[in-house]
Amino acid sequence: MIAWKLSQIAALTPYKLREKQQILALAIAELSGTQKVCLRIAKLCVLIPFFIMFAYIKGWGLVPLLLVAGLLYPLLTSPIDIWFAKTHFAQAISLFKQQNITQAN
């Protein structure tokens, strides 16, 4: 099952939203180079059809569509980020806890 939101990840339930986002960033940083390239290619595969569609629209009708696309961008790409990072959440959580302990001291 694919997680659409960070709140659907069981390991992240005790954390606040900002902390979940930091853990996700740490998990993505743990990806290998080839995994990062695959992540970016997967995002492009989702976004390219929208850009092709926008290329055929002329005039001011494009402005509202671009605003909607800007708002939908996180909804389209977040599940991809979560899917690629899910294997690294355990490492990211331990790293996050270590960072919080060192910041507290």
Determine if the pTM surpasses 0.85: no
Does some domain include residue 23?
A: no
Does some domain include residue 44?
A: yes
pLDDT digits (tens, 9 = 90+) for 17-72: 999 999 999 999 999 999 999 999 999 999 898 889 888 888 888 888 889 888 98
Taking the CA atoms of 82, 85, 91 and 97 in sequence, report the sign of the dihedral they define.
negative
Does some domain include residue 5?
A: no
Does some domain include residue 58?
A: yes
pLDDT at 3: 77
Does some domain include residue 1?
A: no
Does some domain include residue 37?
A: yes
Does some domain include residue 80?
A: yes
The pair of structure tokens assigned to 61 is: 């009708």
Q: Which residues of 15-36 are buried (b: 16+ CB within 10 A; e: fewer)?
A: beeeebebbbebbbebbeeeee
Does some domain include residue 20?
A: no
Residues of the domain holding 34:
30-98
Into how many domains does the chain fold? Answer: 1
